[in-house]
Structures are given as structure tokens and as C-alpha cells.
Structure 1
């Protein structure tokens, strides 16, 4: 390989390095590219991701929140359907030792979906998805987020918008449902 070809190869590979590094650090999300992530994580032991997303400008009443679950680029469930209004709850979670978080929930087709995020001292970060059949306390599905892969928004306008949602009485009383 001559000197010019080596120089061209070096320039090309150097130019690609930042793009490769950026691709590997982009958090997993089921949100559309133009939408914002409120919460998202890839689920442990799975190829699936769960996300709470926002389309548009919810701070000024021109947007909507939605839930998306599935494999990247292939949602298996999106709630609410496009053009529909969904009804979400947001419940504050508190635990001992400077630990707390929140749970988003909604009901769809006879099932209640709960997405939660908990953080605290000693770099605790946990989250996951719980699915319950209406009226039952034992989950039909419970998945945790991959360790260290929880994405939470730090956008105050999005957080303020979710704080206006009602709290879920069952989660308020009993916490996150477990097996």
C-alpha cells in the first residue's frame, strides 16, 4: 500500500471513530427519532426495550405522551394508538435511605402496565416493567432494566407535565407489585 493510500485510510478511520463511539453510547429507546425520551431501558435477559416518550411540545399543550415496547424499530405495543389520548398516572415512590423514584402506569385491553424507576445513595439505579391483569395483584410479567441502562429525562418541562397526572391509588398504597 503506498503512502497516499495509507494516509487516506488513516483519515477515513479517524473520521469514523467519533460516529462509532456515539453509536455505542446512544441509549436504547422505542421513541420515534423526533420524540423525546421520558424514561427508557433495555430489559434484562431480553432483546426488548420499554420506553415512555413524548411527541410534540407538551409544555405548551401541543404534544402527547406515549408508551412503546418491543424491539428497536419494531414496537409490539404502543399506547395510546396514534390520534388517541391516553390516560397515564404518575406515582411518587419513597423508600428508606435516601431512595425514591416514580412509577408511570396505564390500563389497556384488560391489563395494567407499570413502568418504574428508582434511584438512591451508593449509585442505586433500578427500573423495570410490571404487567398485571385487571383486578389481580400478582404480575403476569415482571422485567427489570439492564443494570446501568436506565434513561430518565432531566427536562424540567417534561417532568412538570407528568407531575400533573393523578397518582395510582394501588401503587400509592402497596408500592410496585411484585411476584
Structure 2
């Protein structure tokens, strides 16, 4: 059975509480994000070809709740529901478009098997951040990047009646359905965006595909 995409889930919950009319996609700032301890390690590069699938002994662990290196900030991280893997989007302290690093890592604690990008070049527009807005005070955001013809989307949606969902979708090209969907285990999400980091991620370009069509459906 097809799993509804997050947009459908959010709108269904919202419709139950509201009048049944969907609000247009909006760019509302997400609810305040709780501070947590950061950690991290890694790189950044402007090229899909710079990703690596090698086990990352090169990514030291600063916090068992993320794959970010010690001293780096956790933009968002979580444990995969029903598994041992972690999903982490990390940034070095004081990162900017021209300096520092932003990177995504996936794998078990201390042993990421996928890191993007593999080098340590500055972010320079590689990652995008798109606001998600639905009816009934429901919304969120999605971080996305492309690597080797595939897009990964780390999303977070919250709203009325305790709606809370985060995870990573992997999509081939502009497909409407995800090749894979990894959900975050409830209660495992970590964020540690200080004002400077939050302002930086908010300055990223929006993902035009997500802006126009919403999140891809899960298979």
C-alpha cells in the first residue's frame, strides 16, 4: 500500500482540526527549535561527485546522538526508526558560503558509511532550505542536496494534535515518489542551531521542486 507523503499527512491532520480548506504553501518560520548538544565532523563540496560511501573513520564522533564531529554544530540529526543508523546534517562553527563546512552523514554512530560532500570546500549554495506550510498551524522545513543524480531531503514537519514527523527521503531526479524513505525515531531528533547558524541556513536558496510540488510521496 502506498504510504502518503508528508504533505498529505500534514494536510489530513490539519483538515481534521480546521474547515477542510488547504492553505497555500507558505514560508512561515518554523516553531522554535530546542537547543541540544552539538557534535560533528566532515566536509563540503559543490559537486555531486565528491560524496563518499567509504566507512568514515575520518568523521570523529562528538555526540552519540549524531554523526557530527566534536566542535561542529548539529543542524538536525536523528536515529532511524527501528534501526541503528543515524542521519545528521552538520556545520562547522562560524560557517559561511565562503568558509567552513556543511555536510550530511548517514550510518551507525562513529561509522558513517555515506558522507556528502567528501572534501572540505565551502558550502557555496550546495544545500537548499525550503519552508513547508500547510493548513491548521502545520508546517516545517526541508533541507535538500543533490548527489549523483539523486536528491536527499531531510525534512521536519510539526503541527496540531501532536503531529511530529522527521526523516530523509531519497529521490531520483524529479520523480514524484521517493526511492527510499527513512523516518526518524520519535524523541531522537537533535537540533542545535544558534542564531548565526539559523540565519545562515535561512539564507540558502529554496528548492524550486519542493516549493512547487511539496515533498515527494513515500513508496
TM range (shorter): 0.7 to 0.9
- Aligned CA distance change for structure 1 residues 56 and 82 (closer, same or farther; 3 Å): farther
User: In 2, Cα distance between the equivalents of 1:85 and 1:63?
Assistant: 5
Which position in structure 1 is the counterpart of 2:186? 147
- Whichever structure has more strand as a proportion of its residues is 1
Q: Is 1:127 aligned to residue 147 of structure 2?
A: no
Q: TM-score, normalised by structure 2?
A: 0.65
Q: Indicate if the aligned counterparts of 1:67 and 1:79 stay in contact, CA closer than 8 A.
A: yes
- Aligned CA distance change for structure 1 residues 154 and 55 (closer, same or farther; 3 Å): closer
Which position in structure 1 is the counterpart of 2:137? 98
User: In 1, Cα distance between the equivalents of 2:135 and 2:190?
Assistant: 23
Report which structure shows greater RCO (CA 8 Å, sep ≥6).
2
Which position in structure 2 is the counterpart of 1:114? 153
SS in 2 for 1:161: helix
TM superposition outliers: structure 1 runs of 4+ over 6 Å: none
Which position in structure 1 is the counterpart of 2:52? none
- Whichever structure has more helix as a proportion of its residues is 1
Whichever of the two has the greater Rg, that structure is: 1
SS in 1 for 2:196: helix
Aligned-pair Cα RMSD in Å: 1.9
Note the residue ranges of structure 1 that are not aligned, 5 or more in a row. Answer: 1-25
User: In 1, Cα distance between the equivalents of 2:163 and 2:192?
Assistant: 17
Q: Indicate if the aligned counterparts of 1:125 and 1:148 stay in contact, CA closer than 8 A.
A: no
Q: Indicate if the aligned counterparts of 1:38 and 1:52 stay in contact, CA closer than 8 A.
A: yes
Which position in structure 2 is the counterpart of 1:36? 73
SS in 2 for 1:31: coil
- Aligned CA distance change for structure 1 residues 136 and 162 (closer, same or farther; 3 Å): same
Q: How many residues align?
A: 154
Note the residue ranges of structure 2 that are not aligned, 5 or more in a row. Answer: 1-62
Q: TM-score, normalised by structure 1?
A: 0.79
Residue 67 of structure 1: how far off its partner (Å): 0.7
SS in 2 for 1:152: coil
Q: Indicate if the aligned counterparts of 2:129 and 2:204 stay in contact, CA closer than 8 A.
A: yes
Range with greater deviation from structure 2 (64-73 or 83-92):
83-92
